[in-house]
Amino acid sequence: MDYKLTKYSHAAGCGCKIGPQVLDNILGHNEEHSFPNLLVGNQDRDDAAVFDLGDGTAIISTTDFFTPIVDDSYDFGRIAAVNAMSDIYAMGGSPLMAIAILGWPINDIPASVAHQVIEGARFVCKNANIPLAGGHSIDSPEPIFGLAVTGKVVIKNLKKNKGARPGDILFLTKPLGVGIITTAIKKDLLKEDGAVLAMASMTQLNEVGTLLSTLEGVNAMTDVTGFGLLGHLIEMCEASGTSSEIYFDSIPKLPNLQSYLDQRCCPGGTLRNWESYGEKVDLKNKNKNQKLILADPQTSGGLLVAVAPESVDDFLKLVRTVGLVLSAIGTVQKVKEKKVYVR
């Protein structure tokens, strides 16, 4: 019997993330105790925690898990594993090992299906040359899977989201639209070419982040996931004390998004995202679909990179060595009334 995993989940992939505004209310605290070796912690709103080992290197620690974004169990495991490792690469590090986080409705879906989820994750870990070294499981009302990943970085190569400077050029390494595409999957409206391209994107490791960490002109880096491109760019701008301008037509996108939006294939996470940060965005073109694409929750999305103008040529040469052909999507600017201006 085939089990369509998305039928068991209320939201798909990173679209089930709690919205930025609500998350701020959950995480707000007045922590007075400090840890000198904690280079990046909860207060930084960055991709992962970073702890100085005292020898010029640091440990990176992150976790990510979500409900099914595709029906196939093996592919669900692959996507979740790639997504979880992305935070390590976004900080400029390399993963060392992973442990699994599994919630499973054991009375509704056989354990053999969960086994295939784990096998998909093992495949990705093998490709990343790390062990899937253990994990924890619970009986839960809907399927949940992800990884906790430990990585390592040379501190001088550590990339954060707060280093962007006015004049930096912005690049995005994967196309937008995964949330829209996966909503089309749940509604049985997806065209075959969209499925193939979305799967290729979601299962592509962001290993280029480790390479980019060695390039001095890469001033800031983050991965684009559940808060959408706008949400993660706003975080970068707020952390850096800047604003930004992006060019909608230059942003890479998966095909047929307009058609799916016309058929109401918009994940609930998009609207939660916009409610959280829409007031910080200036949309020159008031096209509703433009907003829905830019706030679309991405699962296993690409890296958003801010590059100094004098380093752009070196950046483009470096990404071409791993098969990426990129174009600028915008610029970092001096702080203005809004954080992001869409043109």
85 vs 64: CA distance, rounded Å: 8
* 14 catalytic per annotation: yes
Tokens read off for 170: 């912005």
Q: Max CA-CA distance within the chain?
A: 58
Helices (H), the chain: 20-27, 73-90, 111-127, 178-186, 192-202, 208-212, 228-240, 257-262, 268-277, 288-294, 312-320
The answer to whether the beta carbons of residues 101 and 63 sit under 8 Å apart is: yes
Catalytic residue among 14, 125, 265, 266: 14
Tokens read off for 244: 């930004």
| Residue 41: CB atoms within 10 Å | 14
Rg (CA), the chain: 19
CB neighbour class for 249 (10 Å; exposed up to 12, middle 13-18, buried from 19): exposed
69 vs 300: CA distance, rounded Å: 11
296 vs 229: CA distance, rounded Å: 7
The answer to whether the beta carbons of residues 50 and 91 sit under 8 Å apart is: yes
Q: What DSSP state is assigned to residue 132?
A: E
The answer to whether the beta carbons of residues 91 and 154 sit under 8 Å apart is: no
297 vs 169: CA distance, rounded Å: 23
Question: Which residues, 6+ apart, have CB-to-CB distance to 102 below 8 Å?
Answer: 114, 117, 118, 135, 136, 137, 138, 144, 145
145 vs 161: CA distance, rounded Å: 26
For residue 40, the SS3 value is strand
Catalytic positions are 14
